[in-house]
Amino acid sequence: MSIFLAGHKGLVGSAILRKLKKKNYKKIITISRKNLDLLDQKAVNNFLKKKKPKVVIIAAAKVGGVHHNNTHGADFIYENLQIQNNLIHGSFINNVKKVIFLGSSCIYPKKSKQPIKEKYLLTGKLEETNEPYAIAKIAGVKMCEAYNKQYKTKYLSLMPTNTYGPNDNYDVNNSHFFPALIKKAHECKIKNQNIFKVWGSGKPLRELIFVDDIADACIFFMNKNIKDTIINIGSGKDMTIRDYVNFLIKKLNLKVKIKYDNKKPDGVFRKVLDVSLAKKYGWKSKISLEQGFNITYNDFVKNYKKNKL
133 is a catalytic site residue: yes
Structural element, H or E, at residue 260: strand 257-261
Local structure of 159: helix, strand or coil = strand
CA distance 29 to 190: 40
Structural element, H or E, at residue 250: helix 241-251
Residue 195 CB burial class (10 angstroms; 0-12, 13-18, ≥19): exposed
Tell me if 3 sits within 8 A of 13, measured CB to CB: no
Spatial neighbors of 285 by CB under 8 A, at least 6 apart, are: 209, 210, 213, 233, 234, 235, 236, 275
CA distance 160 to 299: 22
Catalytic member of 78, 108, 133, 164: 133
Which of these, 28, 79, 30, lies nearest to 222 by C-alpha position?
A: 28
Please state, in angstroms and as integers, the Cα–Cα distance from residue 41 to each residue in 48, 83, 194, following that order: 11, 8, 51
Residue 215 CA from chain centroid, whole number: 11
Q: Active-site residue numbers?
A: 133
